[in-house]
Structure 1
Amino acid sequence: MKATIDDGRCRGHGVCTTICPEVFAMTDDGYAEAIVDEVPDELVDSAREAAEACPENAVVLD
């Protein structure tokens, strides 16, 4: 599974980074970014939870 952040939607709430810091981090500009190319199997549930919790629906999982 690949995780990305829709830059047009992210408003920097940081919910994803709180739920799944192994996959998401905040940039110096205050927005989220995915920090792994592929979500490890053991983090898939956490990444999905982060996507569902994002208030802007900016987390995209493929």
Structure 2
Amino acid sequence: MKIVVDRARCTGLGICESFAPEVFEVDDNGDLVLSSETVPDGLESEVEQAVTGCPTEALRLEQ
């Protein structure tokens, strides 16, 4: 699955980072950085929680 970020919606709160720090990181400028554009094996649940937990709905998953 591919991780898609709507940069216009992302406010850099870092909730996604708290669910899946191996994949999501908010840098010092408040910008979201992905370690991978696809969901790494074994982290599907964490990434899905991050997508669901995003309060601005800036994240989605695509097949």
TM-score by length of 2: 0.85
Q: Is the 8 A contact 1:14 1:31 kept in 2?
A: no
CA distance in 1 between counterparts of 2:18 and 2:55 reads: 13
Q: Which consecutive unaligned segments of at least 5 residues does structure 2 have?
A: none
How big is the alpha-carbon RMSD for the aligned residues of Structure 1 and Structure 2? 1.2
Q: Aligned residue for 2:3?
A: 3
Asked if 1:33 corresponds to 2:42, the answer is: no
CA contact (8 A) 1:5 1:33 kept: no
Matches for 1:1-62 after TM superposition, within 5 Å: 1-62=1-62
Give the aligned length. 62
Higher helix share: 1
Equivalent position SS for 1:41: coil
Percent identity for Structure 1 against Structure 2: 37
* Structure 1 residue ranges (4+ consecutive) displaced by more than 4 angstroms after TM superposition: none
Gaps of 5+ in 1: none
